Amino acid sequence: MKDNFLIQGMSCAACSARLEKVLSRQDGVSRANVNLSSNRARVIYDENVISRDDILAVISRAGFTGYYQESRDIEKERELREKEIKSLKRDFIISLIFALPLFSVMFFHMAGIHVFYADARWQFAFATLVQIFGGHRFYKGAISSLRSKTFNMDVLVSMGTTAAYLYSIYNMSIANPHLYFESSAVIITLVLLGKLMEAKAKDKTNEAVDKLQSLKVDEVTVIRDGEEKTISIDELDIDDIVLVRPGERLASDGVIIEGEASINEAMITGESLPVNKTVGDAVIGSTVNGPSTFKFIVTKVGEDTTLANIIRMVDDAASSKAPVQRLADKIANIFVPAVMAIAFLTFLIYTIFKDANTGIINSISVLVIACPCSLGLATPTAIMVATCRAAQSGILIKSGEVLEANAKVDAICFDKTGTLTEGKLALTKFINTSSLSDREILRYAYSAENQSEHLISEAISSYARDKSIEYAEADEFEAIHSKGVRAKLDNKEIILSNERYFDELGINYDKALMKELLDEGATVIVMAIDRKAVSYFAIEDSLRSDSKEAIAKIKAMGIKTYMLTGDNSTVAKNVAQKLGIDEFRAELLPEDKLKAIEEIKKSCAKLAMVGDGVNDAPSLASSDVGYSVASGTDVALEASDISLLNNSIGGVARALELSRAAMKIIKENLFWAFFYNVVGIPFAILGLLTPMLAGTAMAFSSVCVVTNSLRLRYK
């Protein structure tokens, strides 16, 4: 069982790591991922051991509020995000109102101006209000954290500000002039400002998913009992007839049954130009109709539609973790206790060798500068923005692990037919070498091939239909895996296959003619009647218009390219040379492709495979990163890690660019997150960083990380 939960109350990497740890330890839970950026948890569990309510109870005991999500409720998430931003804004404004007078006291003092609120009692009153109205959320989070025997950002902020506040009360009681009320108040105010800016920036990382969700249609016009009816999208059923008028957004996936259309599919496939559709063509829900009116029959509804699958895959990717994030999580788990120990030693050393005032101020600076907020945001924000940006380009990346692996790819294997080529084979030459008429030969070929679903069979059958050849039902039929077909008609054995299978069977054929046709770059099928070769079919497949450009881009990234095909060596060489592919392997059966993948993997860091057919599924699964193109089968799509929603392999180059850009951003984020802490802590220990400056730097670090991730929106 796999469920998603929306989480409220997480403030830093330690929070998400703690909740993930707590959930993972529960009996029956096999895996838990908690994402700080999206405030969501994904839990895979055995419902016979632990229930959904039990999981919600665990989340509550850990100090957080959880909401179960059967499907992603964008409105609910947006509502909670807005509520959090509003709450932070309110607390920040209240804190700012009372912190500013405290902050201004020292400037007035330096100018020799006395203000009434410089009095210790006024400072105490203002600081107390900030502690109550601004600091309540940190105390609440700290108490929950300590109850579960862990430490998070709230513990550090609470300890630091409370120490300054209580020490100031003590000094006030003994008439000591050293008061630090302004430090506690300003730190809380600055941290709230940072959290507010962080919340707003995180909100922007969810915009792409929100936009995808907004593509859904609320109402649809259907034809029922011969009448037009407007119904809710929730009432739409499979096999309903939908009427689409000019400019309308399609309600669901289906197939056109009447009329023609020019449909803008950019929001789904990334294809900028409208796509012309006619009767029999598939249409995608949430795309936009052009100037015509047409009808289509619904084939998918609800969570099975293309848009729902896109949102689900983007959601899965955003909820997953890249391996690099696990390092950050491990560090966050031990970081806060280590910082608390450093802060205590700082206080102890300064108190012994100098004075308590210096000790407490420097230790507060250590506690505040070390808050690990940015560490927890470094990876998930970048993954979320990158996968959403990819989805807008018609590329579905299944997880953070895939994104990271794809960034390391240094070799790619391409299937040929349907991937580098259009996959629409056409019979370009038919040669009859028998005494039978052309029509009689085509009748036998058509009757045998028409029962096969292979692209080559379709090319021969289509040619025969165009010639108005009469079809006859074969008495027997056998599809020979990856080799051809065998049938029986008019008590004659009909075999259509390539020269390799004919060699296996010991059937003679015209090798000179075969070589001539192969040298022209065609795939050649020989037909034999009763074990005697009688005709030759030359079949060709045109290259995709953007294949050459895409291969050039991929090679420019320093990636080695391979082509794996079941076609003959001559055809393979011809295609490889035209596209500039580095190496090719030809005449491969599915098991041979798998062996080639395993062999090539030994010589590279990460290997990707791009394919579209059933026979590519094992290779896609075996490669480090599997790509499937839109024209591929459901099996290939299921086996792949990255799905291209259009038939352009330009999407491979785009996915590689985005993956590399995302990993670069993640590394930059982790650098800055560590930089602030590693550099800031020594400065704080040495007294070169005041608590207020520490609060500013800590707040800025989180905003810096999220803003840096948002740069991916423009890649």
DSSP string, 267-283: HHH---S-EEE-TT-EE
> How does residue 302 score in pLDDT terms, banded at 50, 70 and 90?
confident
Q: At residue 133, what is the residue type?
A: F
Task: Give CA–CA dist 34/40, Å, rounded.
Answer: 6
Q: What is the CA radius of gyration of the chain?
A: 33
401 versus 511: which is more confidently predicted? 511
Measured CA to CA, the distance from residue 207 to residue 472 in angstroms comes to 58
170-179: string of b/e by CB count within 10 Å (b at 16+)? ebbeeeeeeb
Distance from C-alpha of 712 to C-alpha of 260, rounded to nearest angstrom = 38
How confident is the model over 206-248, as pLDDT tens digits? 665 666 667 778 889 999 888 889 998 888 999 999 999 998 9
pLDDT at 68: 87
The pLDDT tens digits of the residues spanning 14-26 come to 677 778 888 988 9
**Location of structure tokens 């391979």:** 562
What is the token pair recorded at 474?
């074969």
DSSP state of 305: S
Phi, psi of 506 (to 5 degrees): 75, 25
pLDDT score recorded for residue 440: 93
- The larger pLDDT score, comparing residue 380 to residue 560, is at 560
Q: Would the pLDDT of 205 be above 70?
A: no
Q: For position 240, what pLDDT does the model report?
A: 92
Is the confidence at residue 267, as pLDDT, over 70?
A: no
Q: Is 449 within 8 Å of 430 (Cβ atoms)?
A: no
> To 10 degrees, the CA torsion angle through 682, 683, 689, 693?
-80
Which of 33-37, 389-393, 470-474, 516-520 shows the lowest per-residue confidence on average (mean pLDDT)?
33-37
Output the six-digit token pair for 708: 């840096």
Over the stretch 24-46, which tens digit does the pLDDT of each residue have? Answer: 889 999 988 887 767 788 899 99
Three-state DSSP class for residue 104: helix
* CA–CA distance, 35 with 319 (Å, rounded to integer): 6
For residue 29, the model assigns a pLDDT of: 92
User: What is the token pair recorded at 533?
Assistant: 């070769």
298 beta partners: 254
Average pLDDT, the chain: 83
pLDDT given for residue 439 in this prediction: 93
Q: Determine the Cα–Cα distance for residues 57 and 51; give it in Å rounded to an integer.
A: 10
pLDDT above 80: residue 328: no
Q: CA 563 to CA 561: how far, in whole Å?
A: 7
Q: How confident is the model at residue 695 (pLDDT cuts 50, 70, 90)?
A: low
pLDDT band at 340 (very low <50, low <70, confident <90, very high): confident
With 80 as the cut, is the pLDDT of residue 589 above it?
no
Please give the pLDDT value at position 636: 43
pLDDT at 502: 93
Measured CA distances, 605 to 400, 409, 550, 652, 664 (Å): 18, 7, 21, 18, 18
pLDDT, tens digit, 9 for 90 and up, residues 62-103: 878 888 877 666 677 778 778 888 988 999 999 999 988 887
- The vertex-387 CA angle with 383 and 391, nearest 5°, equals 170
Catalytic residue status for 316: no
Residue 431: predicted pLDDT: 94
Residues 6 or more apart from 681 whose CB is under 8 A from it? 339, 342, 366, 369, 370
Query: Average pLDDT in the 143-147 region?
Result: 77
So what's the pLDDT on residue 630? 67
* pLDDT tens readout for residues 426-473: 898 999 999 999 999 999 999 998 888 777 888 899 899 999 998 888
Give the rounded percent of residues in the chain with a pLDDT score beyond 70: 87
Catalytic residue among 154, 240, 253, 415: 415
Indicate the DSSP class of residue 712: G
Read off the pLDDT band of 402 (50, 70, 90). confident
Binning pLDDT at 50, 70 and 90, where does residue 319 land? low
Please tell me which residue, 258 or 162, carries the higher pLDDT value: 258
Rounded to whole angstroms, how far apart are CA atoms 328 and 673?
10
* DSSP letter string, 525-549: EEEEETTEEEEEEEEE-PBPTTHHH
Amino acid at 180: Y
**Length of the chain (residues):** 715
Residue 112 has a pLDDT of 65
Instruction: Give the tokens for residue 1.
Output: 């069982």
Of residues 34 and 318, more confidence is placed in 34
**Backbone phi, psi, residue 259, to 5°:** 95, 180
Q: How far is CA 385 from CA 38, 204, 211, in A?
A: 11, 9, 13
**The predicted structure's pLDDT at residue 633:** 42
- Of 447, 467, 372, the C-alpha closest to 673 is 372
Q: Rounded to whole angstroms, how far apart are CA atoms 344 and 367?
A: 9
Contacts of 482 by beta carbon, 8 Å cutoff, 6+ apart: 566, 589, 590, 615
User: What are the φ/ψ torsions at residue 72 (nearest 5 degrees)?
Assistant: -65, 120
* Residue 632 predicted with pLDDT over 60: no
Tens of pLDDT, residue by residue over 535-554, are 999 988 778 888 899 999 99
Tokens of 472: 């006859």
Give the Cβ contact number of residue 36 at 10 Å.
29
Q: Chain-centre distance of CA 7, in angstroms?
A: 20
